[in-house]
Amino acid sequence: MLKGLFSASRQAKRDDAELGKGVWRRAHDRFRRGLDRFHQMLEGLAEAEAPGTEMAAENYDAMVRLADRLADLLPVVRGLAVEAQEAGPSEGMEIPTGTGGYLNDVHRELSRAGNALAATAESLALLRLGVGTTQAVELKADLVHQRVDRAAELLHKTSSTSQ
């Protein structure tokens, strides 16, 4: 137990150093919580579907692949948040404005990605309850990817033109 406590403390210090304590840290943490929620819903999907049916296996396999794709975005979101923290440090609730305002758009897209991920988890919960479809979950997941891609585009496009 103590080992886990110390590693959590080290991770928190590393997060503070890389992400700050402001808007970039919150955007990253929101995304991570959405991903955790998606995985929680996925764990219950196998039990919620009628065991042994072909549809249950197809749904579960499709959602596992989707979960893997979403999990691959976490280091991307972290990297974007770290870059944004370097470009415009934030230790509070305010988005840094001294960089021409483009960081406001980057933050908006990262926030929307986190919100879209929460909506994806909600859509998976509906599938788990038997009132949703895998296509609905996949559409929401595509929005997450679009938002992360847009945040990266904004951050890299603007930072490369300012150099």
Whether pLDDT at 143 is above 80:
yes
117 vs 32: CA distance, rounded Å: 9
- Name the H helices within the chain: 2-19, 23-48, 54-71, 73-87, 102-129, 134-161
Domain hosting 66: range is 2-161
pTM of the model: 0.86
Higher-pLDDT residue of 137 and 92 is 137
pLDDT above 70 coverage of the chain, percent: 83
87 vs 65: CA distance, rounded Å: 34
Higher-pLDDT residue of 153 and 132 is 153
* Structural domains in the chain (count): 1
Q: Which tens digits make up the pLDDT trace of 54-75?
A: 667 788 899 999 999 999 999 9
Q: So what's the pLDDT on residue 93? A: 87
Q: Look over the chain and give the mean of its residue pLDDT values, rounded to a whole number.
A: 87
Q: So what's the pLDDT on residue 13? A: 77
133 vs 37: CA distance, rounded Å: 18
Q: Which tens digits make up the pLDDT trace of 85-115?
A: 999 998 888 888 766 678 999 999 999 999 9
pLDDT category at 20 given cuts 50, 70, 90 is confident
Cβ count near 75 (within 10 Å): 9
Give the tokens for residue 75: 């280091």
Q: What is the CATH number of the domain that holds 84?
A: 1.20.120
